[in-house]
Structures are given as structure tokens and as C-alpha cells.
Structure 1
Amino acid sequence: MAGKPKDRPRVKPYKGPAGGWGSAKSVTEILSREHRPLSGAKLLAQQNKPEGYMCVSCAWGKPAKTHPLEFCENGAKATAWEVTSRRADRAFFDKHKLADLELWRDHDLEEQGRLTHPMRWDPQSDKYVAVSWEMAFEEIGRELKALDPHAVDFYTSGRASLETSYMYQLFARMYGSNNLPDSSNMCHESSSVALPQSIGASVGTAILSDFENTDCIFYIAQNVGTSSPRMLHDLQDAVDRGAKIVTFNMLRERGLERFINPQSPSQMLTGSETKISSYYYQVRNGGDIAALFGVCKALIEADDALKVSATSRVAGKDGIPADPSNAAMVAFAASIASADKKHVLDHDFIKEHTCGFDVFASAARKYEWDELERVSGLTREEMMQAAAIYGKSDAVLTIYGMGLTQQLMGVQSVHMVVNLALLRGNIGKPGANICAVRGHSNVQGQRTVGITEKPGLVPLDKLSELYGFTPPRWTGRSSVETCKAMMDGEARAFISLGGNFLKAAPETEAVEAAWRKLRLTVQIATKLNRSHVLHGEVAYLLPCLGRIEVDEQATGPQAVSIESSVAHFHGSRGKIKPASKELLSEPAIVAGLAKATLGDTVVPWDQWVGDYETIRNAIEATYPETFKEFNKRLFQPGGFPRPLPARERKWVTNSGKANFITPERLFPELSTASRTDVLHLATLRSNDQFNTTIYGYSDRFRGIEGTRKIVFMNVADIEALGLSNGMNVDLATAIDEKTVRRVTGLRVVEYGIPKGCCAAYYPETNPLFPLQHHDAQSKTPSYKLLPVYVTPSLETPRD
């Protein structure tokens, strides 16, 4: 059956493009598999449309002028997965003990379909049994009142609405806790730390119109074909206008190479493809800082060369540089210089708008090309070629993703992106901005309305004024810190607003062991996953409406709102009948928990649940500048923008300017980095997956069918380690030798990946990552860089 592991998994190189008939076939297959071939197709026509519903998958923006179809292959999978006809109902749980369900694959758990009734774990039968909502709220409230708020964590996954997220953070803070870890901690927290330091904005500054005005895109460490396929429309349009796309990425990803637009009849019928990347540079794992330093070095030294050349002309030497060895650089500089041939960098912008340039430029000059080549995996010629393209472009849009942020030096990698942009004033003008591509729909928006463990980012005085309580001021726990608190016995309860925390977390086995010792676990969810079948002493499973379902409340059908990757707010209306009459909306569940836990408060929980416009009024009262006329603008075509001073070249930083921040080194210190038998592992998603949700066992673009137990390797590394293509191997963590972390039974697949690097799927290889293996500032797990040993295995691969 499609979507299931095969008895004989197949590995065969894929020669087709992204999109095209392969994408159309995949959409048709999953709609049929979820028994929604006709109704699902009709529903998809309303996805990301005016007055329609926002996709529950990625966070890419919705344009003001929509295409006939505004969904991608992965968005269609996410929709079909949620509106499936399958049900994980009371009859299902009557048949299965949780100890047995623990042995199931993640895909198979979710494939059981939508949850239908509130459930409580019964320790005598080891089963979830149905309970009333009143009973669930009452006991959960009683348990929370008996616990120290410091010991309770309120986790949020990526797709809860702005309305729910606002209520949730208010509930947590009125309870007395700032422990608000979320999925952003696992992915783009490095952006949330680095961008405020550099430009005074916590998110990227790009908007969709930048794609219409840019003449060059630098695309760094993000796989558009898997993670945000709708962006391919914007990239294709930019290419058609003549813009160059310069890609820095470890693997050659099909979506960054070639694309056939499924909505273009001419392309579909003729097979005519759009070449996406004009230049494609395969950077070594963890080599992004070195690669960007190389580009910056070339630009800075070219600018220096023009100054020398100008001095020589004044001396009457007819443009011959004083140092003849610099002639090549002078020629290079002249080829990319401004119209007056006097400079390469934007010195006026640097002088007026930035701090720290001299320190950064000095560091760039000091790095030797040999070192930059060794660390980045690129040649000097490649880095200078990229610099030449950048220097000749008037407006450069820089796009990056989790390949940068999920690194030991993730924050400093983002600093380097900003440094490159600042050299030629590529922030705050049409076509020239920074785009941090976020993953889950509304993961960015949750932070905007207060989901954060950092109290300094929340208007606590305003919350106190509005709701008559004293908010806690202590710093709460991030996701990694929550894991450690569970291991140390400091955490006693975990309330989860969506997500699959156990699969997303590093150090999987230790975190799961600690999870079982919690007093209380509460999961607000639509479908079953591993974080539900493992549980604390008291465990509840609370099923909620999905965003695609009609949310009928006292004042009629409700709309919710989300924030896109390009920091625009959009409205969303559910369109289909709920999966069960027993489901409550997320706001209703949060309100029920809050009332049972907090007792009487001035918060109008019931009014909010009856009319979501009143929640948006409360959000506007709390954040008046960000959400001015919130309800009025909810369904504004293209969304309405979040105010970002950096877009207008106003820098809300300590210096009052944009800051060049110089990374302390090119590559993180790894104790085993010099060993020849160690490879650097990066985790990947397949195109049959979104975050921890596995839709099936196909990775079409990489030629994998029927398995996820794969490790991609360079042919030279396979030979050097005495392995062979198709061989079964084990991966073991090559740091902290006292603790053995191992994932077994992976198939070696020869792939176009830089030497010294390897790649395997997330979350299957999460057990390899030590909890402490994260960026020092953001605490984002370094899922894109881990030293590992690869050794022959005696185990037969099993998915």
C-alpha cells in the first residue's frame, strides 16, 4: 500500500524536476489514501484563498493576488492528513493498551485518524478511556493547583492560532509560570536571538513584493522543495524576470535545481522546466560561516583594491596598482564596482546606518583563503564568483533556513547573513531584505503574542493592567531546558498545545525515560502520536478542532488568525464538518483549563470562547502598535504587515544602528573534528514528511521508496571507511565518549554530498544528539551538525 514501508525498499536516483506530474500524482494518491478524493480536491481549492483557510503546513505568505490553486504538494498532504475519514475513537482505544502502542511506528499511530473524545489514561487497564470534558478540566485543574508553577511547562507547537496562543500564555502566567517552551526553540530560535542583536528585529524583514523587485537572491541552507514548496512560484517568477539565484546548500536539492509548475499547462504538457539556481555551491556541513566570510572577504578586498588603484592614478601611474601582485584584484574590483568605479561597498550606508564595520572588515582580511576553502568546502574561485554576482546586483534578497539555525554556531551564522547584507545596504529597500523561512504555520506568530520563556519580550505591565494580576518575572525554560528539568526531576507536569515533543527532542531515550516520571501530562491534539502513548502518572488526551474545520461558537462560525514567514497577519475560516461532535476548539479547551485551575478572575474566558473577535480586541489592547484595527484588517488581501522598523532602516538596537557582529571563529570546537574516521551528520526531512509527521515512506526527490532507515554518504567516504553502497551500518555519536548513543540498521546510499559529511532523516536520528549539543545563546539543538562514527552493522534495517 502507498505510504507504507516496503518489504524490499528501493533506492533509485530521481531524474525529474520538483513539481510537475510527480507532484500531481502524489496529491492524488494521498487524497485517495485518506478517502477524500473528491471532497479533498474541492477543499484544496479554498486553501490559502480569500475567506478560505490557511494551510496547516508551512508558514509561507499568502499573496494578495492568488494563483488558481494556492497549495503545494506538502500542503495538500497536510490537509488530507487532517481531514482523513479515519478515526481513533473509543473503539480503537478499547482494543489497544498503551504499552502495545509504544511499539508502533510514528506513521502508523497518526494514520489511525482523528481523535474523537477526551481521554484519561487508566493505570489498571493501561488504556485511554473516555471521560467528560467537565471531569477532565476538574482533575487537571486540581493537579495543577497542587504543583509549584516552577515545575510546570506549557509547551506550544507551531500551528495554534494567534487567539489560542494569546489565551494560553495568559493562562500560564496567571498560573504563575514562565515555562513556555515552544517549537521555535527547536528551529529558528537562533534567528530570534541573532536578528535583534544585528538589526533590532526578531524576524526577517522581507515581504513578498521583494521577489518582484530583487535582481539577485542568495539562497542559503534551506530546501524549498520539501519545506516550503509554494515559494517555488516566487522563485520561478524571479527567474523569469532575469534575477539570478545563488544557492549555498550541502545537498543538491531538486527544488533548488529544476521546477515544473503544476499550474502551468504549457510546462506540464511540454515538460519545459525552470532552472531555479543560476549558481549552486555545495557547502560542507557547518561551513556556512566560512563560505560567507569568503564572499565578504572578496568584496572587502576588492573595495580595498579600488582605493589603492585610485591612489596610484593620483600618483600618475595610469591606473597600475602600486603592488603589481594586486593587479588581478584590481581587475576583479573594476568588474563589479559602482558606476563611478570608485567603490564596491556601500560606504554611505555603512557610515550612516551601521556599527562595527572596521572590526568585521579586519577579521575578513585576516582569514587566509586556504582556511576558508578547507572549512567551507568551496574553492576561492567559487567564493569570488559569488561575490562578483553579489557586487553587480543592486538589490539582493537573502533567504535562509534551518540549515543555518540548527547549528552549534547558529546565532553567529545568522550574524554572518546580516553582515553580508550590510556591506551593500541590502536591508530596507525594495528587493533587498532578509527572509528567515519559518517552518510550521504560525510558529512565528505565537511569539508575537507572548509565547516565550523570556519575560523581557512580553508586555507584562500591560497584562497586569488589563487582567489584575502580578505576572512572574523570572526567566522560564526553553525546550532543551525543559528536557533537562525533566531529567533532573525539577519538572513535574507538561501541558502540550499540539505537537509531538518527544519525537522533536534530542537525547530521545533519556527524555522519554524522564517523561514517564512526570506527575501530569496533558496533550491537546488532533491525532495520536508518540508523546501521547508515553505518559505521566496522570495523563489526559484532549482532542481539538483542526483549523480546517468549522468552529461554531455562541456568536456563529469563528475565524482565527496566523502570522506568515514574511510577518503578515492573515485570517482563516474553517470549511468542513468537525471530525466529532465531542471536539472542542483550542480556545475552549484553554479556557476550560484556565477556569478550573485559576478559579474566578477578571478574564472573560467564556466571552472570548463565544466570540473570537473579543480575543483579537484583547490582543490589540495588549499590542496596540502591532495589531492596530486587528478585526477590521483580518481578511485584508495579502494580509496586513507586522510593523518592523528595520524595514524602514530604523534600528532598534543598543547602538541605534545595524551592527556588524564578527563571529569568534569559522567552525565550532568539536573534540573529534580532526579524526579521519568521523563524519559530520546533518538531519533531513523527506518530501513525505512535515516536521515530526510522517505521511509516508517515499522521498521522491532523493530516489528513496519504502524506508527511512538511510544514511547518505559521499562515495570517497564510503570507500575510505571500508563500506559499500547499500551496506547496513550503525551511527554512533563521536563526542562524549563515556555515553554511548547509537542508531542502528541504516542503509548506506551513495549521494552527491560533500566529503566528510553525511545525512540521515529526522527524527529517526534524534537519539544521537546529546542534550547539551546546542547553540550556546539560542539553545537550539544542533541537528545540522554532529560528529558521528559510521560502522558496519549486523542488524537488518527495519522502519
Structure 2
Amino acid sequence: MDKTISQDDAPREVRIEPYEGPAGGWGSARSLVEILTREGVPVTGAAMLTKQNKPGGFMCTSCAWAKPAKPLTFEYCENGAKATAWEQTRRRATPDLFAQHTVTDLLGWSDYALEEAGRLTHPMRYDHASDRYRPCTWEEAYAEIGRELKGLDPKSVVFYASGRASLEASYMYALLARLYGNNNLPDSSNMCHEPTSVALPQSIGSPVGTVRLEDFEQTDLLLFFGQNVGSNSPRMLHPLQEARRRGASIIAFNPLKERGLERFTDPQSPMEMLTRSSTRISTQYHQVKAGGDLAAITGICKALIAADRDAKEAGRPAVLDHAFITEHTHGLDEFVRFCDGQDWAALERRSGLSRHALEGTAAVYARARAVIGVYGMGLTQHRRGTETVRMLANLLLLRGNIGKPGAGICPVRGHSNVQGQRTVGITEKPELAPMDKLRELYGFEPPMEKGLNTVEACEGVLDGSVRAFIGLGGNFLRAVPDTSVMEPAWRRQRLTVQIATKLNRSHLVNGEVAYLLPCLGRIEIDRQATGPQSVSMEDSTARFHGSRGVADPVSPQLRSEPAIIAGIAKATVPANPRIDWDAWVGDYAKVRRAIEATYPKVFHDLDGRMFDPGGLAKPLPARERRWETDTGKANFAVPGGLEADPDLPERGGEILDLITLRSNDQFNTTVYGYHDRFRGIDGTRDVLFMNRADIGRLGLRDGAQAAVETVSDDGVSRRLGGLRVVAYDIPEGNCAGYYPEMNVLLPLWHHDAQTKTPAAKSIAVRIAAEG
């Protein structure tokens, strides 16, 4: 293997041509066979997949979509199968790899090549003199990490969680941080759905969605905003297909036409596969401009309010649900004044949609008995992301579409347990953690000072106030904004510790003392003192599920995440007679009993019921129309404005809005390959999708090389070149490129005003030809 390039970074043939097939179908089947074969698990991997997302089996390590009580024969999707093959690959990143390659060499590898090196097998310590990772013992690692942490101010240490760790590991991790003395517990929620966690409590008193899987069987209409179901949560396509077959409408709002929201062929249907037939998913598809959802939803609300007023004057039945509004809501009058005051021309300009389209959506909505509002990061990752989520809640409240069968608000979460981590204490906000219970159970004084979220942790790295970073999974440094600014500052930390299954770029940019600790994957059998262990997690619909590993560990040197957390805790925090870390590691049921004791209103017999078909339901007061808000009712909210970026220049001319995207051959920062089938891109990720009119207006051409530069006045140059221009069906004034490569263009300060979630779906840029 060459010292500066991986075998998986060899030159590839680039093909760019439209893909005409549906989501699912033979394309999905071929992709599954390809990755199982490539990772060397064509037989064992296929056998494991039969146990994925099944009661008594293991929960998918990819997305957090709901697990049904009556699973399909194959209860996994293309990306879920890729995640399983990726984890259970036969490739190994042994100490020999690190003996052959310096860290500087490895930094020249692509994201794909680093992870394709295989599973990590031994604990490693970075040696600055040789610029190599060298193997060490677990005892050595724990001892030095503990010494370093004891010598640091607790306020200077960050405990990051990626969103894949189990409820058990997450509870232990949050407890470790608070015993150590801080609430510096940022997680991947800070980068994606934090606006949900802030907006929904303000609107309906719940930090999560109100929809259960069974609501999809009763709904008349689904409104989709900024969520690419075909790539990010493909198992949802089955209930969407069933909803369409019984006559429900689906209206999609998204800048790009995503194939999963257009057509779907069920790979589990022999008839559909043989006939190559497909189901049309969206009955209407509106290509809203980047950052235009707030204006679009406002327009729908304005049209509904006007239609209700007209109906009253004409003596027709009301359009709004006035009985629900009177009994259950607060603030309607101010919201009506806001909507009435909006100019249709301004709404059309900002949303990119016509008044006719928005009024047409309102008319369909007005006829529907039960409506679900589904959304993803296309709503949340904006400067006004929190306000946009509240506007969607406003829309649903106007006709009583929260708290009845077949209706509700449905944020689609990413990582498989990112919602569950918050439930058991991974939060930087002390008011969201049961500090009184922790004090009572464990006899210590929990820290009450607000901790650091993701953006604040990055700011602390830049100004030097953050001195250590512990990463429970993930690829933090690759996922955050301003990567070209962050990487040099990252090296100034005293300590960096990464707990991981496979190698990624975050493991190669190190502090003065750096450890890489390999952990068991969720699919592997976790053998502890009392025998094989099970873990639990929460899906997007607030149900808890158990998971049992089915494969032997790839190395005897691996430790489970709970074991690693306990090892660091024992070396770092004073012994506590009320916490037996070893007993918890020996029997995870004891951790679950601790979770139940800490959250008695949320968990009831988690240990006994987590393998119930369909999972254990988390209480959702808003689902029962109990509003745990300051007013005691659901609240209508008025946004501060409709501009996605109120402090930046008006778009137009040479300034475009850049949207970051995932390929259907990746999950978050994990790149499974270079084939974005649905967008017709094969062999490269260095592309920039543009509207043909913008290409011509800016003097470019389809297939030309271009560079993108961020528009900002902070004195920092943010530029990415070597991108191939691809003419694509995207709104004029918008362009798009792949995440995480485009993060170099995303300023750290460019975030949601209330939550500091990076605004990655609307970045002001200029584009220029190269060569």
C-alpha cells in the first residue's frame, strides 16, 4: 500500500448521467449485493440482516426511524444494510497499519478510504516523535487519561456523544461528566435537531414529536418539509407507500426533487420487482428555495386564515378548528395579525413558490381530516430554524392536527439513538437534567452551570479555553463548521480521546496527549461478567427498543462503550459508595434500573419491556392534548421575520445560496462509496449542483471546473475549488454540494439564533470558473 494514498483512493472513472429508476427496486438490491461483497461478508452479512430491527435482534446502527411491532421479512433498508456491512467488514485497521503509515500520511486519505481501512482492533496512543499511533494496554490508557483529566479545570473538558451510543452508555457518560464537574455534553443534536428540542417545548410542551407509527395508517395527508426519505430514512417508504395506496395525499416541499419522495418500488414485493412497477409517492412536489420554508408555511397559514374568514362570511363550515383553538391554544389573534400583514409578492419571492401553489396546498390541507407534518434538517439547519419549526406547529394547530389519531408533528431524527441520549441526560442544559434525582441517588452536588453546546465547544477550542475533548463515537472535527479553521486550533488541546469502531479524520488531528480506543459495535455480542448483554435505544417516534448483538467481536482487545466509560470514570472521579462501575459493566440491567430510578415518569420496567414488539412507549403529554407550557396551552408563535439570513445581503446577482447534501451512498459523515445513484453521480463527490440559468448567467458551463467562496465580512477566507459543475433541477439562485466536504465553507457563526445549530442549508456563496 502506498504511503500517501490508500488503495481505495485510486483514480476512479467518473460518470454523470440522469438516473430514471425509482427509490428501492433493483437499484437498491444491486447496491446491497455490492457492499456485502466488497466488505467480504456476502453470506454472514446477509444472515445478520435477517435479525436487523427485529424483536430479539439488533437495532440498526444507521437512522432512528420507527421499528414496527410486526416487522417485514426484511426490516432493513439499503442504507441500514450498508451500515451493517460497514461495521462487520472483514477489513482490519491493526497496529500494522499504523506502523506502516504516519498520521500525516493518513491525513492525505479520503474519508471513504480511512473508514475502509477496517475495524480498529487495539487501543492506541499517539506518539509525536514518530508521528504514529502505537499500541498500548487498556490499563495504561485509563491511567494516563485519568491523570490528565485530574490536572485540568473541569470547565475546560468536553464530553461529546455522537448519537449512536445506547441508553445505558449515554446515562453512564452523562453521569461521568457531572461527577467530574461539568455539563459540557454536546451531541449530534446540536448539529441537526436542536431547533426541534427548543421549538416544540415552546409550542406544545414536548421536546420530541407526537407521531407514532400507527398514525401513518390513519392519516389523510402528509406534509414533507426538507427531509430526504429515500436516502436518510428509507424504511419510512413502506408506510408512505401504504398511505398512498389507501388514498392519502403527500405534499413535498424540498429544493431538490428527491427520488424517494417521487417514486418507490418495494424490493420485498416480487410482483413490483418483476414488473418494475412503482408507487408515486408525492401528489404535489414544490421546489421551495433554500431557506424559503418559513415563508412557504406562512403563506399556507395566511391562505387558511383567509379561507376561514370567507367561509364565515358565506355561512359555510369553518376552515379552522375553532373549538380546538379556543380550548387548547394561546396567541391566535397575534398570529392572525402577523399572517394578514404578510405581502403575497414577498412570500412568493422568498419561498420561490407561487401564491397559487401555496393556496392549493392550503385547500388540500383544509379538506384533510388528519394531517402529519414531517420534517428534517431542511427546516432546522437555518438561521431561523427554531422559528420555522414553530411555524410548522402553528400550521398544524390551526386545524387541531396535534393530539388526535393520524395527526401530529414528526421530526425525523438521524443517528439511531440521538433522541434517546437526550432522554437519559446528554445535554448541556442543566435544567433539562434531573439534578435533584442525581443528588438524591448518588450523594453529590451536580454542576448547575450551563455547559457547552457544539458551536460553543468549537469556540472554546479556537480561543484556547477548551483543553480536552472526549469523543464517544462520531467524527466531530469533520462534522463541524469551519473545518480549515478548526483543525489547526484542535492540535493546541492538551488531551484528545476518541472512542470508535473505525478510523476517521477526527482521529488524526490530535492534542498533545491522544488516545484512540476501539469499542464493540452494536452488532457484536457484548460478553460481560453475567453473560451476553443487551442494550436499549429510542427511535424517532419515542419508543424504546432492546438490541442484542449477534456477531463475535472482531478483536479480543475491544471493550464495550459502558466498559470504556467505566474505566475512564474509575481513573478520574473519586470513588462513590453509591456507584459500582464494575457491577454496572457486569450487568447492564443494573444501569437500566438506575435509569428508571432517575426518570420514573419516563421509564417503567425498561429492562422487562424493551423487547416488547413495537417497543416501550415513552409518555407524550402533547399527544394527549396535555400542554406542559408556561401558558398551559399550545402556543401560536410569531417569527421575527421571514429571511433565512437576516444579517447578510439580499440574494441575487452573483450571490447564491449553497445547500449541503448527503449522498445516498453515505450516512452523516460516513461515506460508503462514490455512487450517488439517485442524482446520477458515480466516481466522485467533488461536484456542485447548479440551475442551468445560473450556470449561463455566471459564465460557466455544465462540466466545467469551479471554485466556491463564502460571502462574509469576518475576514476569514473560505474557499473550495476543484468542483465539477453539474446542471441540475434546483431552484434558480440555489446550488448544492456534498457534506462534509462543503463544511469548509460554513462559518462557525452562521447558525440558528436560538440554538446555535449550524445553518448548513443556506450559505451565501460566490462561484467562479477555474482553469
TM above 0.5, yes or no, is yes
Picking from 91, 104, 107, the partner of 2:96 is: 91
> Do 2:475 and 2:505's aligned partners in 1 also have CA atoms closer than 8 Å?
yes
Percent identity between matched residues is 60
Deviates more, 1:660-669 or 1:379-388: 660-669
> Do 2:9 and 2:110's aligned partners in 1 also have CA atoms closer than 8 Å?
no
Counterparts of 1:119 and 1:289 in 2: how far apart (Å)? 48
- How far off its partner does 1:675 sit? 4.3
- How far off its partner does 1:342 sit? 2.5
Counterparts of 1:230 and 1:670 in 2: how far apart (Å)? 39
Counterparts of 2:12 and 2:479 in 1: how far apart (Å)? 27
Counterparts of 1:253 and 1:413 in 2: how far apart (Å)? 21
Q: Does 1:646 align with 2:622?
A: yes
Picking from 647, 660, 667, the partner of 1:690 is: 667
Write the letter of the residue equivalent to 1:363: F
| Aligned positions of 1:299-310 closer than 5 A | 299-310=304-315
Write the letter of the residue equivalent to 1:489: G
Secondary structure at the counterpart of residue 497 of structure 2: strand
Secondary structure at the counterpart of residue 241 of structure 2: helix
Counterparts of 1:71 and 1:703 in 2: how far apart (Å)? 24
Counterparts of 2:507 and 2:12 in 1: how far apart (Å)? 28
Could you say which residue in structure 2 is the equivalent of 1:178? Answer: 183
- How far off its partner does 1:399 sit? 0.3
- How far off its partner does 1:256 sit? 0.3
- How far off its partner does 1:8 sit? 3.5
- Unpaired runs of at least 5, structure 2: 1-5
Counterparts of 1:773 and 1:650 in 2: how far apart (Å)? 35
Could you say which residue in structure 1 is the equivalent of 2:518? Answer: 543
Counterparts of 2:209 and 2:455 in 1: how far apart (Å)? 24
Write the letter of the residue equivalent to 1:221: G
Write the letter of the residue equivalent to 1:607: A
Counterparts of 2:723 and 2:62 in 1: how far apart (Å)? 28
Secondary structure at the counterpart of residue 213 of structure 2: coil
Could you say which residue in structure 1 is the equivalent of 2:359? Answer: 384
Q: Does 1:468 align with 2:473?
A: no
Picking from 10, 13, 21, the partner of 2:26 is: 21
Counterparts of 2:542 and 2:368 in 1: how far apart (Å)? 25
Picking from 510, 515, 527, the partner of 1:552 is: 527
Secondary structure at the counterpart of residue 172 of structure 2: helix
Picking from 163, 167, 171, the partner of 2:168 is: 163
- How far off its partner does 1:4 sit? 6.1
Counterparts of 1:632 and 1:566 in 2: how far apart (Å)? 20
Counterparts of 2:217 and 2:553 in 1: how far apart (Å)? 39
- Unpaired runs of at least 5, structure 1: 311-340, 795-799
Could you say which residue in structure 2 is the equivalent of 1:732? Answer: 709
Could you say which residue in structure 2 is the equivalent of 1:348? Answer: 323
Q: Does 1:55 align with 2:53?
A: no
Aligned length: 764
| Aligned positions of 1:602-751 closer than 5 A | 602=577, 603-667=579-643, 668-736=645-713, 738-751=715-728
> Do 1:6 and 1:707's aligned partners in 2 also have CA atoms closer than 8 Å?
no
Write the letter of the residue equivalent to 1:769: L
Counterparts of 2:252 and 2:616 in 1: how far apart (Å)? 30
- How far off its partner does 1:425 sit? 0.2
- How far off its partner does 1:307 sit? 2.1
Q: Does 1:520 align with 2:525?
A: no
> Do 2:93 and 2:119's aligned partners in 1 also have CA atoms closer than 8 Å?
yes
Could you say which residue in structure 1 is the equivalent of 2:377? Answer: 402
Question: How has the CA–CA distance of structure 1 residues 283 and 3 changed in structure 2, closer, same or farther, with 3 Å as cutoff?
Answer: farther
- How far off its partner does 1:599 sit? 3.3
Could you say which residue in structure 2 is the equivalent of 1:285? Answer: 290
Could you say which residue in structure 1 is the equivalent of 2:743? Answer: 766
> Do 2:481 and 2:748's aligned partners in 1 also have CA atoms closer than 8 Å?
yes
Q: Does 1:269 align with 2:274?
A: yes
> Do 2:117 and 2:503's aligned partners in 1 also have CA atoms closer than 8 Å?
yes
> Do 2:9 and 2:109's aligned partners in 1 also have CA atoms closer than 8 Å?
no
Q: Deviations over 1:149-186 (max 9, x none)?
A: 00000000010000000000000000001101111100
Could you say which residue in structure 1 is the equivalent of 2:3? Answer: none
Counterparts of 1:403 and 1:482 in 2: how far apart (Å)? 24
- How far off its partner does 1:670 sit? 4.0
Picking from 550, 555, 566, the partner of 2:541 is: 566
Counterparts of 1:182 and 1:532 in 2: how far apart (Å)? 17
Counterparts of 1:262 and 1:308 in 2: how far apart (Å)? 51
Q: Deviations over 1:604-646 (max 9, x none)?
A: 1000000000000000000011111111111010001110100
Secondary structure at the counterpart of residue 741 of structure 2: coil
Counterparts of 2:9 and 2:59 in 1: how far apart (Å)? 28
> Do 2:8 and 2:116's aligned partners in 1 also have CA atoms closer than 8 Å?
no
Question: How has the CA–CA distance of structure 1 residues 85 and 788 changed in structure 2, closer, same or farther, with 3 Å as cutoff?
Answer: same
Picking from 449, 465, 470, the partner of 1:490 is: 465
Counterparts of 1:437 and 1:275 in 2: how far apart (Å)? 21
Could you say which residue in structure 1 is the equivalent of 2:399? Answer: 424
> Do 2:22 and 2:263's aligned partners in 1 also have CA atoms closer than 8 Å?
yes
> Do 1:4 and 1:696's aligned partners in 2 also have CA atoms closer than 8 Å?
no
Counterparts of 1:5 and 1:301 in 2: how far apart (Å)? 60
Q: Deviations over 1:453-483 (max 9, x none)?
A: 0000000011011111110000000001000
- How far off its partner does 1:713 sit? 0.6
Question: How has the CA–CA distance of structure 1 residues 535 and 16 changed in structure 2, closer, same or farther, with 3 Å as cutoff?
Answer: same
> Do 1:426 and 1:433's aligned partners in 2 also have CA atoms closer than 8 Å?
yes
After the TM superposition, which parts of structure 1 deviate over 4 Å for at least 4 consecutive aligned residues?
A: 1-6
Counterparts of 2:606 and 2:545 in 1: how far apart (Å)? 10
Secondary structure at the counterpart of residue 765 of structure 1: helix
Write the letter of the residue equivalent to 2:272: Q
Q: Does 1:198 align with 2:203?
A: yes
Secondary structure at the counterpart of residue 749 of structure 1: strand
- How far off its partner does 1:308 sit? 2.2
Q: Does 1:130 align with 2:135?
A: yes
Could you say which residue in structure 2 is the equivalent of 1:34? Answer: 39
Deviates more, 1:670-679 or 1:77-86: 670-679
Q: Deviations over 1:67-126 (max 9, x none)?
A: 000000000000000000010011111111111111111111110100001110112211
Secondary structure at the counterpart of residue 558 of structure 1: strand
Question: How has the CA–CA distance of structure 1 residues 53 and 153 changed in structure 2, closer, same or farther, with 3 Å as cutoff?
Answer: same
Q: How high is the TM-score relative to the length of structure 2?
A: 0.98
Counterparts of 1:2 and 1:109 in 2: how far apart (Å)? 10
Q: Deviations over 1:660-679 (max 9, x none)?
A: 00111111314222441100
Counterparts of 1:3 and 1:246 in 2: how far apart (Å)? 40
Counterparts of 1:647 and 1:5 in 2: how far apart (Å)? 53
Counterparts of 1:740 and 1:91 in 2: how far apart (Å)? 39
Could you say which residue in structure 2 is the equivalent of 1:142? Answer: 147
Q: How large is the Cα RMSD of the aligned pairs?
A: 1.1
Counterparts of 2:536 and 2:485 in 1: how far apart (Å)? 37
Q: Does 1:580 align with 2:585?
A: no
Secondary structure at the counterpart of residue 352 of structure 1: helix
Q: Deviations over 1:209-241 (max 9, x none)?
A: 010010110111100011000000110111111
User: For the pair shown, which has the larger CA radius of gyration, 1 or 2?
Assistant: 1
Could you say which residue in structure 2 is the equivalent of 1:248? Answer: 253
> Do 2:8 and 2:113's aligned partners in 1 also have CA atoms closer than 8 Å?
no
Could you say which residue in structure 1 is the equivalent of 2:238? Answer: 233
Q: How high is the TM-score relative to the length of structure 1?
A: 0.95
Counterparts of 2:514 and 2:35 in 1: how far apart (Å)? 32
- How far off its partner does 1:45 sit? 0.6
Could you say which residue in structure 1 is the equivalent of 2:216? Answer: 211
Q: Deviations over 1:365-395 (max 9, x none)?
A: 1111111111101111100110011000000
Counterparts of 1:4 and 1:120 in 2: how far apart (Å)? 26
Write the letter of the residue equivalent to 1:583: L
Counterparts of 1:150 and 1:444 in 2: how far apart (Å)? 25
Counterparts of 1:257 and 1:365 in 2: how far apart (Å)? 33
Secondary structure at the counterpart of residue 752 of structure 2: coil
> Do 1:3 and 1:695's aligned partners in 2 also have CA atoms closer than 8 Å?
no
Counterparts of 2:24 and 2:351 in 1: how far apart (Å)? 30
Q: Deviations over 1:655-711 (max 9, x none)?
A: 000000011111131422244110001100000000000111110000000000111
Write the letter of the residue equivalent to 1:661: A
Question: How has the CA–CA distance of structure 1 residues 253 and 513 changed in structure 2, closer, same or farther, with 3 Å as cutoff?
Answer: same
Write the letter of the residue equivalent to 2:350: V
- How far off its partner does 1:510 sit? 1.1
Write the letter of the residue equivalent to 1:380: R
